[in-house]
Structures are given as structure tokens and as C-alpha cells.
Structure 1
Amino acid sequence: MSLALLAGGASFAQQPSQPPRAAATPPGHTIAEIQVIPTPAGTADNRYKHVDAAIAIIQASGLRYEVHGLGTVVEGPAERIWPLLQAIHQATLEAGAQRTLSIIKVSGGAQAGGPTVDDLVRKFRK
């Protein structure tokens, strides 16, 4: 979710209540990052309305997520991530965007024990 992610007052957000993570992630655990670039990003009254609609879909998913300035990272089972990515893209159009470009990166593994977002960034957080 492009620089427009800085809208809605969230340069960083995380699912408020997170279940404890198991020692190893299950097979099919997926990490995805999505950046949506709707045109326009919002309306005269709400500058980032279309981006906010996309973030609302992520928040409602119940999956672990982090909103960043240039995209949002979501993690969970692949069978929930893939439909969510489509719903995020569609939400911007349903909110009134004329067009939307979504840039998506996805990482997943066939075996259990793949990394989580926390595993990948823990040493860089203070």
C-alpha cells in the first residue's frame, strides 16, 4: 500500500491481539506484502479513502499484519492469504478508485518451520 499508507494515521499497525506462535510454522505458512496504488488515492474529503478501505479489509481478516509506509505485510495460511490479496485490491475499486495497481510479494514454503515476520526482523527492532 503505497505512500498513501501513511494516511489513516497508521504508519505502523499490528493486529492487536495475537495468539502465541507455535515453535514451528505449519506447512503452507505464507508471508505476503501488498502495496496498492489506487487512482485517485482518495477523495477531496478523505485524501486516502481508497487506501483506508484496503487496510480495513486487512484489519478485518484476523490475520497478523503490519502496516508500513510503502506496503502492508500479512502472514498466515496460504489458503487465507491469496483470497485476501484479491479482496484488498478489490476494496480500493469498491471504495471509488478509478483504477488500482497492486504490487505483491509472496513467500511460502511446502515444509513446516518457515520464518515468520518476527523471525525476519526481530534483530532490527528496538
Structure 2
Amino acid sequence: MAHPSFSRLRRFRLALLSLPLLACTAAWAQAAPPQASPATAVPAPGRHMIAEIQVIPRPAGTADDRYKHVDAAIAVIQASGLRYEVHGMGTVVEGPPEKIWPLLQAVHQATLEAGAERTLSLIKVSGSAQAGGPSVDDLVRKFRK
């Protein structure tokens, strides 16, 4: 049996760990400019985002189609109309953030709708507050043959 003060000590440690987080959250909330209402929010023109998503559905497919659930995720990306590259360990897609974020959710969901029992999605996102931003080509051109 655990020592009776263990749970009290654990709660104290957790409280101490959460203090900096609460302080940062409060400081951020005070410093954040007022947000526009969703009805009046207009995406900034020219904003660019690069995202890489790797879906890891379980199972990855069926006996007849080994990668059925992964292929369903890639099909969603293909149908998006955004520029993308399929790689061995994930797919990179680029475009405006207002299209990328919902796409990432749809890609994850597609594996489940294709029959996967569960799915883990690993996502990397790079964006810029300024217009433009690097493309995948800009980042890898010198390494391609």
C-alpha cells in the first residue's frame, strides 16, 4: 500500500507544475489583441502553410488490400485540389491554412470511415504570418536530382 502522504505530495507537485502554465496563459490572454467575430473574420490573402501528415491506422488495410485505410486518406488529399507529395512515411500538402486545417481532420477521419478500428495521425505544420512563405520546392530543390 502506498504511503498516505503520497497522493497529497503528488497533488502538490502537480499544482506547482501547473503554476507556470497558468501564468503564461494569463499573460497571453492579456496580451492578445481582440479577435474579430467569426462572421467578419477574413483570411489574410497570400498566407501559405505546409503540413505533413502520417496516418497510422490499425489495421493498415484488409487481407485483400494491404493499405486500404491509408489509401483512403491519400484519396482525400488528392480530391482537395491542393498541391501535395506522397512520401514513404507521410504526405506533404501545401496551401492556405483555412484549407489545410480541415483537410488534416478529414484525412484522419477517412481512415476510420474506410474501416480502421483506430488511427493515430502524426502532423507537422509550418506556417507564416506574412504573405508567401516557402513552398516544398523551395525547401528541397537543391537536394533533388
- TM-score, L = length of structure 1: 0.78
Shift of residue 79, structure 1, vs aligned partner: 0.2
Shift of residue 76, structure 1, vs aligned partner: 0.2
Shift of residue 97, structure 1, vs aligned partner: 0.1
Deviations along 1:23-78, one digit per CA (max 9) or x if unpaired, are xxx54200000000000000011010000000000000000000000010000000
From 47, 53, 64, the equivalent of 1:34 is 53
CA–CA separation in structure 2 for the residues paired with 1:122 and 1:106:
19
Give aligned pairs, total: 101
Higher relative contact order (CA 8 A, sep 6+): 1
The structure richer in helix per residue is: 2
- Given that 1:27 and 1:113 are in contact with CA atoms closer than 8 Å, whether structure 2 keeps it comes out as yes
| Residue number in structure 2 paired with 1:86 | 105
Corresponding position: 1:60 with 2:61: no
Runs of 4+ with deviation above 4 angstroms:
none
Shift of residue 114, structure 1, vs aligned partner: 1.1
RMSD: 0.8
Q: Secondary structure at the match of 1:46?
A: coil
Q: Percent same amino acid among aligned pairs? A: 86
Structure 1 gap segments, 5+ residues each? 1-25
CA–CA separation in structure 2 for the residues paired with 1:103 and 1:113:
25
- Given that 1:31 and 1:75 are in contact with CA atoms closer than 8 Å, whether structure 2 keeps it comes out as yes
- TM-score, L = length of structure 2: 0.68
